[in-house]
Amino acid sequence: MGRVKRGTAFANMMESSIELNIGDKFIRTMVFTMVISMMSATMFNIVLPEISQEYELTYRQVSWVSSAYLLVYAIGSMIYGKLSDRYRLKSLLTMGLLLLSVGSLIGLVAQNYWMVLLSRIIQAAGASVIPALAIVIPTRYIPTERRGKVLGIMASGLALGGVLGPIASALVANFAHWRWLFVIPLLTLISLPLFRRYLTSEKVRSPSSIDWIGGFLLGGAVAALLLAITDGSWLLAIVAIVFIILFVVRIRLAAQPFIEPSLFYNRRYFLGIILAFLVSAIGFSIPFLTPIMLVDIYNLNPGTIGLVMIPASLTAAFLGKQGGKLADRNGNTLLFKLASLLLLSAFLLLSILIGRSLIFVAIALIVGQVGQSFIVVAMSGTVANTLAKEQAGVGMGLMAMLNFMASSVSGALISFVVDLDAQSAWNPFYLLGEGKIYSNLYLILSISYIGLILIYIIRFGYRTPLNYQQK
């Protein structure tokens, strides 16, 4: 009996040592890598016009610099999450950070566009380990009473990376060639020895199979859709539909599917992730479309573009926590309405004021960026409230993956529309000669948001957040 107690005490001590390693220093290290990985996703948006000019490409073609990264980042985050049941976390982190560094080095020396694109794909294949394990590690090793706080800190790291991306891009573009942006992800190598030291006591969990076929079908569907948009090909659109149908069949038949189909039987959750997908797709227009517009209409260089966008990024970072506090006090519905009002105002202002003083554009961007940061918090809380506790990790992981995919699709679609140009302005209040296509795009985004607001209020706005059993 004494031996059993001593064995139990030793096991508890070992578990405590793991939890001690996953302490404040580890969390700070994880947040640092999350910031860098998300910066890698957003900091190239400002220099897309410059890349387009250097390689003589259309915006549709050059949009793959961002879209490919986000697509691989989305699929990779799900795959790494599943691999964490089979392999040690420190091994996955080592492989991921080394891949991120290899991709960065390729991009740094790239002389052709295909090399730039290849480097972005390899970067994303490595960087996607970070958001995946940012969910797995707190769930596995952090005590329940601290888990929510840690997950919130991890989420803020992703948000901060999205904010700092344009700032870093502006600083680099002011003093060097855009290719030097590939140096920034190499900073993650600083964290590698720390990760390996913190995770020395880790144990391998029971292995589970990975539905590689399902992952391939999902990635193929999104890639075919992006190519269909980029090339304007109906054949590729049909291929994307076929892949989606095969993916649905696969997850219904597979013993351990890539995505658990039972999640979609929860109708409130299903509607919630669709709304979150659309919110992310529309919101991505702020960091993606704005630099293109500023080059076309104002003839700005990347450094000056960054200066125009930096106030919005800093304001969103400063006010981001206030959105969470407002949701805690007054509920997600109020925050969603406030965020939507800010975004509507920003899109309408941009639709009317494009071509006028840059001060107006900067103010509109501040309003829109704050609105986007608030609406991400509101949608995350809304979707989380539709899930049972045992499905929260998988459900929110799927939502994160779809949000990255939404940004990828949005970038390709926006680039396609910009290349088409426009003969007339649809907004009767837009009176300038140039910039009609941008005015029209922002007007479409405004109208789209009105539809999202109505759907949200009808389905989620009149009821107290419900749990899974009340769907």
Token pair for 433: 């000669």
Phi-psi region of 87 (alpha: psi -120 to 50; beta: other; left: phi over 0): beta
Token pair for 367: 């309003």
Give the count of beta carbons closer than 10 Å to the beta carbon of residue 57.
16
* Per-domain residue ranges of the chain: 1-206, 211-257, 262-471
In the numeric block, the tokens 């076309």 are attached to 296
Give the count of beta carbons closer than 10 Å to the beta carbon of residue 372.
25
Are 372 and 286 contacting, i.e. CB atoms less than 8 angstroms apart?
A: yes
CA distances from 212 to 111, 247, 257, 259, 406 (A): 33, 11, 9, 11, 22
pLDDT of residue 23: 66
Are 80 and 94 contacting, i.e. CB atoms less than 8 angstroms apart?
A: no
Domain 262-471 has CATH 1.20.1250.20: yes
pLDDT of residue 305: 80
Nearest to 408 by CA among 70, 154, 80, 1: 70
> Cα separation of 155 and 38, whole Å?
11
pLDDT of residue 8: 41
- For residue 201, what is the DSSP state? T
Nearest to 384 by CA among 446, 324, 436: 324
* Crossing angle (nearest 10°) for helices 129-141 and 144-175: 160
- Burial-class residue 141 by CB neighbours within 10 Å (0-12, 13-18, 19+): buried
> Cα separation of 277 and 151, whole Å?
21
> Cα separation of 439 and 351, whole Å?
4
DSSP string covering 227-275: HHHHHT-HHHHHHHHHHHHHHHHHHHH-SS-SS-GGGGG-HHHHHHHHH
Token pair for 441: 């795009």
Distance spanning both ends of the chain, measured CA to CA = 48
> Cα separation of 267 and 227, whole Å?
30
Phi-psi region of 232 (alpha: psi -120 to 50; beta: other; left: phi over 0): left
Three-state DSSP state, 211: coil
> Cα separation of 308 and 353, whole Å?
15
The separation between CA 251 and the C-alpha centre of its own chain, rounded to angstroms, equals 24
- Amino acid occupying residue 123: Q
Domains 1-206 and 262-471 share a fold: yes
> Cα separation of 387 and 384, whole Å?
6
pLDDT of residue 390: 63
> Cα separation of 358 and 471, whole Å?
47
Q: pTM (2 decimals)?
A: 0.74
- For residue 462, what is the DSSP state? T
Ordered per-residue pLDDT tens for the chain, 471 residues: 444 444 444 334 334 334 434 567 778 888 888 888 888 888 888 888 888 888 888 887 888 888 888 888 888 887 887 787 777 888 888 999 999 999 999 999 988 999 999 999 999 999 988 887 777 776 666 665 565 566 667 766 766 777 678 778 878 877 888 889 999 999 989 988 888 887 765 565 555 667 888 888 888 888 888 778 777 778 888 998 999 999 889 988 888 888 878 888 888 888 988 998 898 888 888 888 888 888 888 888 877 887 788 788 778 777 766 776 777 777 788 888 898 899 999 999 988 888 888 888 889 989 988 888 788 778 877 887 887 766 666 677 778 778 878 888 888 888 888 877 767 778 887 767 677 888 888 999 889 888 888 888 888 865 444 443 444
Total number of residues shown for the chain: 471
- For residue 44, what is the DSSP state? T
Are 405 and 280 contacting, i.e. CB atoms less than 8 angstroms apart?
A: no
Domain 1-206 has CATH 3.40.50.300: no
